[in-house]
Homo-oligomer: A and B are copies of this chain.
Amino acid sequence: MVIVNFKTFSEATGRRAVELAKKAEKVNDETHVSVGVAPQFADITAVAEAVKIPVFAQHIDPIKLGNCTGHVLAESVKEAGATGTLINHSERQLKLSDIDEVIKITREVGLVSLVCANNPRISAAVATLKPDILAIEPPELIGTGIPVSKAKPEVVTDTIKLVRKVNPKVTILCGAGISHGEDVSVALKLGTQGVLVASGIVKAKDPYTILCEFAQATKIKRV
């Protein structure tokens, strides 16, 4: 599984978000590796209309219908076409009780929950809340091009070890600095089920080719 976080990059805003999502879908269809995208809120509708792959919101708020001007309602991103949501990304961290509440909301509304965590301890804490997917991303490597899977493999293996003690089922991804197919295959060898990637794809000269490389790398592992 490869999930591409569009963040607020200009290369992945508006019309360009739709184009990038189509490339991701092409890789998904050609390689039969699951590729998902996480566009900005205002782009969910257009992206979800354009592609059939999983679309994640980048965040939702722990709110109910009603008087919550300026907040992100689960029902809204769902109706716009999102199938899941990132939660607690290191650039949009939540209070612990809000993570719990948001995971609960995703279950009620029918969204896939992907919770991010900064380190192995936090990953284990998150895992006790039973999200669908957990992504370990050391913030100090985000956007650096230095892949967590190679630079800090112990962060990944410690995460898997601690998480599996408390939750045998959650899907575990890793992210931060993932730039090459090899970073992905190393991530899978360490025991993850995929990667969460942003600038490595979004800011690549040729996102389609790199994404293909990522997808192929996940297949090698399975052999």
A-side residues, CB < 8 A to B, are 5, 7-10, 13-15, 38, 40-46, 57-59, 63-73, 75-77, 79-80, 82, 86, 88-97, 99-100, 117-119, 121-122, 124-126, 128-129, 142-143, 162, 165-166, 198-199
A13 near B125: Cβ-Cβ < 8 Å = no
For the complex, what is the distance from the CA of A118 to the CA of B101, rounded to whole Å? 11
The residues of B that contact A38 with a CB separation of less than 8 Å are 69
- B94-A95 in contact (CB<8A): yes
Closest CB pairs A-B (n = 6): A59-B70, A70-B92, A14-B79, A41-B41, A42-B80, A69-B91
Given contacts A15-B79, A95-B95, A121-B129, whether A86 and B100 have CB atoms under 8 Å apart is no
Q: Give the number of times this chain occurs in the complex, counting copies.
A: 4
Query: Do A94 and B91 touch across chains, with their CB atoms under 8 A apart?
Result: no
Would you list 27 pairs from A and B whose C-beta atoms are within 8 A, ordered by A residue?
A: A7-B68, A8-B63, A8-B69, A8-B76, A10-B65, A14-B75, A15-B79, A40-B76, A42-B76, A42-B80, A45-B46, A58-B70, A69-B89, A70-B86, A70-B89, A70-B92, A71-B91, A90-B97, A94-B95, A95-B96, A96-B125, A96-B126, A100-B125, A121-B128, A124-B128, A125-B128, A128-B162
User: Given A42-B80, A75-B10, A124-B128, A5–B96 Cβ distance below 8 Å?
Assistant: no
Most buried by B among A7, A40, A80, A117: A40
A79 to chain B: which residues have CB within 8 Å? 13-15, 42
Closest to A63 in B: B8
With contact pairs A8-B63, A8-B66 given, residues A122 and B100 touching in the complex (Cβ less than 8 Å): yes
